[in-house]
């Protein structure tokens, strides 16, 4: 099939590569180059770089407007495939390819429709994650589903690690759906079940409330890592939590927000068992081990997270 592929971040690359091996991709649509790093150097998106390596033409656009629609329509693609492009596909572009567009979404639809399905699922403490491939329609993530499956996930996987795993599984699922559309065997069914929404994360989503249980706090840490990041305040200063894990079984019982230092980490009390924090970033400073941060504090006795 003649495909047009739309995507921007690295999680879209496995799908692009697998489809390129099976079908003709006539163009890749991606977001424009963006400033990156301390020197703010304009850098192509990960998908743009991957497309260049594959020798595929790239269309860079911040909006799928009339100009972009005209350029895509001229390609006469059979099907559009979208994975985390970062923009909305509207009519007439929705129906421009012969078979419309399909979308790889990182949840078991209709759960977690929106921009941050994996992050919201982890914050909510969902026991399993998944991927869905559906027909794109005007309503947000509401189209009929061609295929979906749950994906096993390590118990301590943060959002970036979980997305990487889902990207590989989702690539295979998407390629199988494209093959089925190509040979006429694809069947899509309406979404069934309770709808939940997954809006984009904001900085406040990473704020830790130490009065919550360990399970709730660790779920939030997993969901907001690496962006926007889990954080708290200590003695009025913001402290970003970069790496954390469940404390050992013999860890002491601590009051919510109480901090105890160890050689390499700090334990912070929750409503249940402590969180073992191994890497942090104080405000205005670089990342460091939590043990080094602890040893750099002038006073330990009254130090409390959330203060």
Confirm or deny that 1 is annotated as ligand binding: no
The dihedral built from the CA positions of residue 213, 269, 219 and 209, taken in this order, carries a sign that is positive
Q: What is the C-alpha to C-alpha distance for residues 79 and 1, in angstroms, rounded to an integer?
A: 7
Task: Return d(Cα 291, Cα 239) in angstroms, integer.
Answer: 14
Residue 109 annotated as binding site: yes
Q: Is 32 one of the annotated binding-site residues?
A: no
* Rounded Cα–Cα distance for residues 71 and 6 (Å): 13
How do strand 24-30 and strand 58-60 relate by DSSP bridges? parallel
Residues in the annotated binding site for (6S)-5,6,7,8-tetrahydrofolate: 107-110
Binding-site residue set: 107-110
């Amino acid at each position: 099939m003649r495909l047009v592929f739309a995507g921007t971040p690295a999680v879209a690359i496995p799908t692009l590569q697998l489809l390129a091996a099976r079908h003709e991709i006539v163009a890749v649509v991606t977001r424009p180059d963006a400033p990156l790093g301390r020197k703010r150097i304009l850098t192509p998106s990960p998908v743009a770089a991957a497309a260049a390596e594959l020798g595929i033409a790239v269309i860079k656009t911040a909006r799928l407007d009339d100009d972009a629609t005209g350029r895509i329509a001229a390609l006469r693609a059979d099907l559009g495939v979208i994975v985390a492009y970062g923009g909305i596909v509207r009519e007439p572009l929705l129906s421009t390819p012969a078979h419309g567009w399909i979308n790889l979404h990182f949840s078991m639809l209709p759960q977690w429709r929106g921009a941050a399905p994996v992050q919201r699922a982890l914050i909510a403490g969902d026991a399993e994650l998944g991927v869905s491939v559906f027909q794109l329609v005007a309503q947000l993530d509401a189209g009929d589903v061609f295929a979906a499956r749950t994906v096993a996930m390590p118990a301590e996987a943060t959002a970036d690690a979980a997305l990487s795993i889902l990207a590989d599984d989702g690539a295979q699922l998407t390629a199988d759906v494209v093959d089925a559309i190509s040979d006429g065997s694809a069947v899509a069914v309406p979404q069934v079940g309770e709808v939940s929404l997954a809006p984009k994360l904001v900085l406040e989503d990473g704020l830790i409330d130490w009065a919550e249980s360990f399970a709730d706090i660790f779920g939030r840490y997993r969901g907001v890592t690496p962006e926007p990041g889990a954080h708290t305040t200590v003695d009025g200063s913001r402290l970003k939590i970069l790496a954390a894990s469940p404390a050992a079984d013999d860890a002491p019982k601590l009051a919510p927000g109480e901090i105890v230092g160890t050689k390499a980490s700090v334990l912070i009390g929750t409503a249940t068992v402590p969180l073992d924090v191994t890497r942090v970033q104080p405000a205005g400073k670089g990342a460091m081990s939590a043990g080094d941060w602890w040893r750099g504090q002038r006073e330990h006795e009254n130090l409390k997270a959330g203060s």
